[in-house]
Amino acid sequence: MREFKTDIEIARAAQKKPIQEIGAKLGIPAEQLVPYGHDKAKVSAEFIRSLGDRPDGKLILVTAINPTPAGEGKTTTTVGLVDGLNRIGKNAMVCIREPSLGPCFGVKGGAAGGGYAQVVPMEDINLHFTGDFHAITSAHNLLSALIDNHIHWGNEQGIDSRRVSWRRVLDMNDRALRDIVCSLGGPANGYPRESGFDITVASEVMAILCLAADLADLERRLGDIIIGYRRDKSPVFARDIKADGAMTVLLKDAMQPNLVQTLENNPAFVHGGPFANIAHGCNSVIATKTALKLADYVVTEAGFGADLGAEKFFDIKCRKAGLNPAAAVIVATVRALKMNGGVSKEDLGVENVEALTRGCANLGRHIANVRRFGVPVVVAINHFTSDTDAEVAAVKDYAAGEGVDAIICRHWADGGAGIEELARRVADLAASGQAAFKPLYPDTMPLMEKIEAVASKIYHAAEVTADKAVRDQLAQWEAQGYGHLPVCMAKTQYSFSTDPTLRGAPEGHVVHVREVRLSAGAGFVVAITGEIMTMPGLPRSPAAERISLNEQGYIEGLF
Amino acid sequence: MREFKTDIEIARAAQKKPIQEIGAKLGIPAEQLVPYGHDKAKVSAEFIRSLGDRPDGKLILVTAINPTPAGEGKTTTTVGLVDGLNRIGKNAMVCIREPSLGPCFGVKGGAAGGGYAQVVPMEDINLHFTGDFHAITSAHNLLSALIDNHIHWGNEQGIDSRRVSWRRVLDMNDRALRDIVCSLGGPANGYPRESGFDITVASEVMAILCLAADLADLERRLGDIIIGYRRDKSPVFARDIKADGAMTVLLKDAMQPNLVQTLENNPAFVHGGPFANIAHGCNSVIATKTALKLADYVVTEAGFGADLGAEKFFDIKCRKAGLNPAAAVIVATVRALKMNGGVSKEDLGVENVEALTRGCANLGRHIANVRRFGVPVVVAINHFTSDTDAEVAAVKDYAAGEGVDAIICRHWADGGAGIEELARRVADLAASGQAAFKPLYPDTMPLMEKIEAVASKIYHAAEVTADKAVRDQLAQWEAQGYGHLPVCMAKTQYSFSTDPTLRGAPEGHVVHVREVRLSAGAGFVVAITGEIMTMPGLPRSPAAERISLNEQGYIEGLF
């Protein structure tokens, strides 16, 4: 019987190669890698520019069904699939998001894959990594400081201090900062007003960095940020208080993709990490586009299930960056399918083919949704030891009925060797020429109709409701020239509906748009359908209490 | 006539060597350097441990007279002196502080030396560098979040939420955050209370990192931080809410010294940057001690003039770390001596030997003060083009009368070649065996007497006054076992007195201690004698408005 090892033990035992060797696999000369230690590097802007018009590799999206709270293993499958593709002789690389620092101190856990399908060095990736999120925090908060400073020194732009919409950020779970009153203490400290902090991944600067094509585009988008409004309701932009240049300077290194490696020494870009609710939840465009010039297969993922993650990947990232995905993998687990079939969390380990088959309706809808974007699909069954043969067979049968292969994957336990069958199928699909990507709606469609298109076609809702204030706001933005933007849906990840307990494939539900927000720099309109928490808190017994360095200098308690 | 170049132009034209070559000069193998790009690296903890009991080189302090607002060029002289020492065949290295990010966006200017005496890459050093300050910000704010989280979830330790003394930090000049009310918005966000932010360099975590001997000592000191008080006034420590382990994890890389190079390719550690008022204002102990094992001459500096910087360097850093400085350089400029002699800022460019001679009383007192610590002195006249021969001669004559050489130094214009005479004199002094370092007061002296010792012996004050509340507080700390700590004076840098306009060498003035603070983790008691600003603001027209990347990708407007 095999010895059980934790993720961190596996990661520590990794036989990492020097990052220059990993870069060489991609044809990146050592002098064009900016090293951060011996196992991490940024790719130089000069090298990226030099890639010019090279042909692109195939882009593969890994997405998932509606998950259990533990997640379905999208990152693990993304990493494993690249190892599998390389094992069958393909030149493939990973493109995933950077994890956020703050949540590591709340609940134990990292975000660099798991088991034998991880990117390393996982401790660094989960902590400060190459400093990208710190740079984003600095750039965001510089803008915040410049806003209050502008008001303090005479307010030439006439900013209505009651209508400053730009908050501050920290990469920390800190509920005490959600709502504050700042500028107290007398005239030297400015005009008191209400404000607050979000977590750094929720910053519009994060979304902008992930969508910007290059530094010039980054600067333009930063300038486009709306920081608040004047008394006449006209928007004030970051450009109006001359913040865009300095913010760009703070972000110039953060814009460069970070190269690391999988446990099997295959290349991985880990870059950018926008929230998957109020932002689009995908790694950076610059990393993905660079990867497509360097590898024949680029495997990437998008946050949450396919109803949120894949839809935003297609309608925001692919649309805006001109990407053409060649295939999609939908990750399912027997456990999550049973949960979608009505099984309670406690009973997920018990065989229940009937509930599983019921839950497959959830999978079926995700398959149909992804195909609607013109992208061919394969299902990856991320194997758990508790899965029974009958359950696995039922998933395969269901998928076959939809005309899709469902392939059992054992990358968590076996690394690339456990996922070769999926790798072959993905390579075939990508080569089949079946893909004909098209977004769900045209740019020209009015904003409310875009929301309705997503709700009806992807969520199968009967109706979208919204107060007059929300509809008026959308109309105003259209009048101001923002009507061409895509919409970024903020909805629970646990259901197609806005009710997290409504599993499976609900029909005819109502999607209520509570609030809309304009991310003018990132370039989308956020439609909020429930409570969205942009600053998490720590639990009663935070992981931080158990985290420390042991005598060997290793980190304990973090993962 | 020579072309005038700005600091940034000179820095960009630097012929940098790969950082591995700089490390090799010090005997550091490439695999023991953790690179950050091609021109910065951290020295591994393993390598530092391997140095064991190697003999130490000579430690040279660069300090200054009471300055003009533009500063006297301590960093420039520190860097230049190392280049000069290397030019005359000595094996010397620089040990200086890291600059703070926030102030760069306020008033134009960096802190990596100037002219032909700089450390490079100066843009990186002035911006994110190797992320040390970001790590300190994270560790500090994790503790803050854990405090409010502890209170929120039941407050097992019984922290009095009115008496939480631990604030939050950002490396940003942001006056709006000086005084805030946090935890507003309802029960889910905690108990509303008053708080605020300081700039990161003012964090006690910064002072701790700079005084810690190693990671174990760091963790112990972090645990010793007092975060607030219970209703019975007993202190609550960071250890009590189990924050010390996770904070240490966040700081493990930041603890390693950063290696860069001078324009003349000599090695420099740039590490740590505690405030020179509420903290001790010196680079890290670990960098200084490591440097002493690697070089024959280690040149370091301390913040502000010698009355503050040198006194704290001797009484806090050297005392606690067991360092024995071999010589001190007091930097003076003709301009600052004239200002100390009563000349107004506008007239500093005009020859005025009489005022200059009057102002030399300031230099004379600093000479006597440094000698009182048992450290031999030489004066460096940091040359400005407006200095006249008569003025320079007057400074030399004055110093000669005090039994000290005053040597004209042209490192700003000529690099190491301009400072060889000083280098030779420093090498002679350090070899002379004259040094017999002793701190000003013994550990056993009561805290108030320590403050009085500094005020009378260093400042030449007639009296120290303090309210009963301050005296009671000191007595209470003595009863709690903190009486052995040194004192950290927070006073204006422009005068020996607490009145910044009182130039020269005032006598018989009164030092009023307004407030005392205990930095139990760092290990000192701060005595505050005036208004201390721990969160700066931005000016009416901040440098940020003019900072941008130009078309070549170079930073404009920052320096």
What are the structural domain ranges in chain B?
A: 7-17+38-121+263-431, 132-251, 447-529
**Are the beta carbons of A142 and B172 separated by less than 8 Å?**
yes
Residue B483, annotated ligand binder?
A: no
Q: A237 - beta bridge partners? A: A226
- Residue owning tokens 């297969």: A297
For residue B109, the model assigns a pLDDT of: 67
Contact A450, A486 (CB under 8 A): yes
φ, ψ (nearest 5 deg) of residue A315? -80, -20
Q: Contact B241/A34, CB-based, under 8 Å?
A: no
Known binder of ligand: residue A70?
yes
Using DSSP, state whether B6 is helix, strand or coil: coil
CATH fold, domain B132-251, is: Domain 2, N(10)-formyltetrahydrofolate synthetase (3.30.1510)
In a mutational test of the B interface, the residue from A150, A157, A177 whose CB has the highest number of chain B CBs within 10 Å is: A177
Using DSSP's 3-state secondary structure scheme, residue A422 falls into helix
For residue A238, give the chain B residue with the closest CA: B545
> Using a CB-CB distance cutoff of 8 angstroms, which residues of chain A are in contact with residue B179?
183-185, 189
Contact at CB, B249 and A134, closer than 8 angstroms = no
> What CATH class does B7-17+38-121+263-431 carry?
alpha beta
Which residues in A383-506 belong to E strands, given as ranges? 406-409, 461-466, 487-490
Give the Cα separation of B177 and B199 in Å (integer). Answer: 10
pLDDT at B5 (0 to 100): 85
CA distance B391 to B398: 11
Q: Are B180 and B245 in contact (CB under 8 A)?
A: no
Q: Flag if B553 and A252 touch (Cβ within 8 Å).
A: yes
Whole-number Å distance between alpha carbons of A56 and B492: 62
A33, A43, A271, B98, B126 from A46: Cα distances, Å: 10, 8, 18, 28, 23
What does the alpha-carbon distance between residue B193 and residue B232 come to, in Å, rounded to a whole number?
19
Residues on chain B touching A150 (C-beta within 8 angstroms)? none
Q: Quick one: closest CA in B to A144, which residue?
A: B174
Within A203-304, residue ranges assigned H as helices are: 204-211, 215-224, 244-251, 285-294
Q: Minimal Cα–Cα distance from B539 to chain A, Å?
A: 8
Please state, in angstroms and rounded to a whole number, the distance separating the CA atoms of residues A352 and A340: 12
The CA–CA distances, whole Å, from B5 to A218, B10, B118 equal 31, 6, 13
The predicted structure's pLDDT at residue B316: 98
CB contact under 8 A, A249 and B555: yes
| Cα nearest neighbour of B45 on chain A | A553
Number of A:B CB contacts under 8 A? 227
- Point out the residue among A36, A545, A553 whose CB comes nearest to the CB of B45: A553
What's the pLDDT score for residue A457? 97
CA separation (Å) from B197 to A188, B175, B182?
A: 15, 9, 11
Distance from CA of A346 to the nearest CA of B (A): 27
In the residue annotation, A498 being an active-site residue is answered as: no
Hey, what amino acid is at B271? H
The letter for the amino acid at B352 is: N
DSSP string, B286-344: HHHHHHHHH-SEEEEEBSSSTTTHHHHIIIIIIHHHT--EEEEEEEE-HHHHHHHTT--
Residue A357 annotated as binding?
Answer: no
Residue numbers in A near B185 (CB within 8 A): 178-179, 196
**What pLDDT sits at residue B137?**
98
DSSP codes joined into one string, A481-531: T-TTSPEEEE--SS-SSS-TT--S---SEEEEE-EEEEETTTTEEEEE-S-
More confident residue, B26 or A277: B26
Verify whether the Cβ–Cβ distance B176 to A145 is below 8 Å.
yes
- The secondary structure of residue B243, as a DSSP letter, is -
Helix (H) or strand (E) holding B536: none
Residues from chain B contacting residue A105 (CB–CB below 8 Å): 142, 145, 246
Does A108 qualify as catalytic in the annotation? yes
| Residue A374, burial from CB neighbour count under 10 angstroms (0-12, 13-18, 19+) | middle
Going by the DSSP 8-state scheme, the letter that residue B556 receives in this structure is: E
CA atoms of B358 and B339, how far apart (whole Å):
10
Tokens of A466: 């919204």
- Sign, CA dihedral B486-B488-B489-B494, equals positive
pLDDT at A171 over 60: yes
Q: Is the ipTM of this complex over 0.90?
A: yes
Shortest distance between the Cα of A103 and any Cα of chain B, in A, equals 11
- pLDDT tens, A326-336? 999 999 999 99
Task: State percent of chain A over pLDDT 70.
Answer: 99
Marked catalytic residue, from A269, A373, A412, A524: A412
Q: Known binder of ligand: residue B70?
A: yes
- Of B143, B292, B320, B278, the residue nearest B224 (C-alpha): B143
pLDDT tens across the length of chain B (559 residues): 456 788 888 998 999 999 999 999 999 999 999 999 999 999 999 999 999 989 999 999 999 999 888 778 999 999 999 999 999 999 999 999 999 999 999 987 677 899 999 999 999 999 999 999 999 999 999 999 999 999 999 999 999 999 999 999 999 999 999 999 999 999 999 999 999 999 999 999 999 999 999 999 999 999 999 999 999 999 999 999 999 999 999 999 999 999 999 999 999 999 999 998 899 999 999 999 999 999 999 999 998 899 999 999 999 999 999 999 999 999 999 999 999 999 999 999 999 999 999 999 999 999 999 999 999 999 999 999 899 999 999 999 999 999 999 999 999 999 999 999 999 999 999 999 999 999 999 999 999 999 999 999 999 999 999 999 999 999 999 999 999 999 999 999 999 999 999 999 999 999 999 999 999 999 999 999 988 899 999 999 999 999 999 988 899 988 7
In the block, which residue shows the tokens 């596996």? Answer: A10
Q: Which residue of B has its CA nearest to A540?
A: B153
Contacts 24+ apart (CB under 8 A), B16-20: B16/B120, B16/B121, B16/B261, B16/B265, B17/B261, B17/B265, B19/B259, B19/B260, B19/B261
Residue B171: list chain A partners with CB under 8 A: 138
A304 in catalytic set: yes
What Å distances lie between residue A48 and A249, A287, A322, B323, B430, CA to CA? 18, 10, 17, 49, 52
- Here the tokens at position A387 are 């899965």
Q: Which two tokens stand for residue B399?
A: 């110093």
* Predicted pLDDT of residue B176: 98
Give catalytic residue positions of B. Answer: 74, 76, 97, 108, 276, 304, 384, 412
Least confident of A462-466, A479-483, A527-531, B59-63: A527-531
Decide if A527 contacts A489 (C-beta within 8 A).
Answer: yes
User: Distance from B516 to chain A by nearest Cα, in Å?
Assistant: 21
| CA atoms in the 13 A half-sphere facing the CB of B113 | 36
Q: Could you tell me if B193 and B161 are in contact, meaning their C-beta atoms sit under 8 angstroms apart? A: yes
- Looking at A5, A54, A108, A345, which residue is catalytic? A108
| First and final C-alpha spacing in chain A | 24
Contact B539, A227 (CB under 8 A): no
d(CA B332, CA A486): 62
Contact at CB, B252 and A549, closer than 8 angstroms: yes
Distance from CA of A275 to the nearest CA of B (A): 20
Told to judge if A314 belongs to the known catalytic residues of this protein, a careful annotator would answer no
pLDDT at A109: 67
Residue A487 pairs in a beta bridge with A525
In the block, residue with structure tokens 């690339």: A416
Q: Which of A182, A531, A550 to mutate to test the interface with B (most CBs of B within 10 A)?
A: A182
Residue B68 pLDDT: 81
Considering only CB atoms, A35 lies closest to which of B35, B190, B253, namely B35
Instruction: Give strand ranges (E) for A263-396.
Output: 267-270, 297-301, 325-332, 377-382
Q: pLDDT value at position B112? A: 87
What torsion, rounded to 10 degrees, do the Cα atoms A523, A527, A528, A532 define?
-20
Output DSSP code: residue B276: S
Instruction: Name chain B contacts of A153, Cβ cutoff 8 Å.
Output: 540
Does the annotation place B71 within a ligand binding site? yes
Amino acid A281: pLDDT: 95
DSSP-based three-state secondary structure for A67: coil
- Measured between beta carbons, the chain A residues lying within 8 angstroms of B31 are 38
Are A185 and B178 inside 8 Å of each other by CB?
A: yes
Instruction: Kindly report the nearest CA distance between residue B197 and chain A, in angstroms.
Output: 10
- Identify the residue among A124, A151, A159, A179 best suited for mutation to test binding to B, counting B beta carbons within 10 A and taking the highest: A179
Locate the chain A residue with the closest alpha carbon to B241: A545
Q: What is the pLDDT of residue A485?
A: 98
What pLDDT sits at residue A6?
Answer: 86
The answer to whether the Cβ–Cβ distance between B547 and A127 falls below 8 Å is: no
CB contact under 8 A, A144 and B553: no
CA torsion sign, A32 to A38 to A39 to A40? negative
For B172, nearest residue in chain A (alpha carbons): A142
Residue A1 pLDDT class (50, 70, 90 cuts):
very low
Fold of A447-529: Formyltetrahydrofolate synthetase; domain 3 (3.10.410)
Hey, what are B465's tokens? 């006054």
The reply to whether residue B245 touches residue A179, judged by beta carbons under 8 angstroms, is no
Q: Tell me if A37 is assigned to a ligand binding site.
A: no
Which among A138, A543, A546 is the nearest to B101, CB-wise? A138
Residues in Cβ contact with A27 at an 8 Å cutoff, skipping those fewer than 6 apart: A294
CB burial string B19-57: b at 16+ within 10 A, e below: bbebbebbebeeebbbbbbbbbbbbbbebbeeeeeeebb
Residue A142 to residue A135: CA distance in whole angstroms:
10
Cβ contact (<8 Å) for A182 and B184? no
Residues in a beta bridge with A466: A513
Whether B544 sits inside 8 A of A37 (CB atoms) is: no
Is A320 annotated as catalytic? no
Question: Rounded CA gap, B395 and B364, in Å?
Answer: 10
- Residue A80 CA neighbour count, 13 Å, CB half: 31
Are residues B142 and A171, on separate chains, in Cβ contact within 8 Å? no
Instruction: Kindly state the helix (H) or strand (E) to which residue B519 belongs, with its residue range.
Output: strand B515-519
Active site residue A197: no
HEC-encoded secondary structure of A2-60:
CCCCCHHHHHHCCCCCCHHHHHHHCCCCHHHEEEECCCCEEECHHHHHHCCCCCCCEEE
Rounded to 10 degrees, what is the CA torsion of B106, B108, B114, B118?
60
- Nearest beta carbon to residue A544 from set B146, B181, B557: B146
By CB atoms closer than 10 A (0-12, 13-18, 19+), residue A217 is middle
Contact B518, B482 (CB under 8 A): yes
Q: Do B245 and A548 touch (CB under 8 A)?
A: yes
* Total count of residues recorded for chain B: 559
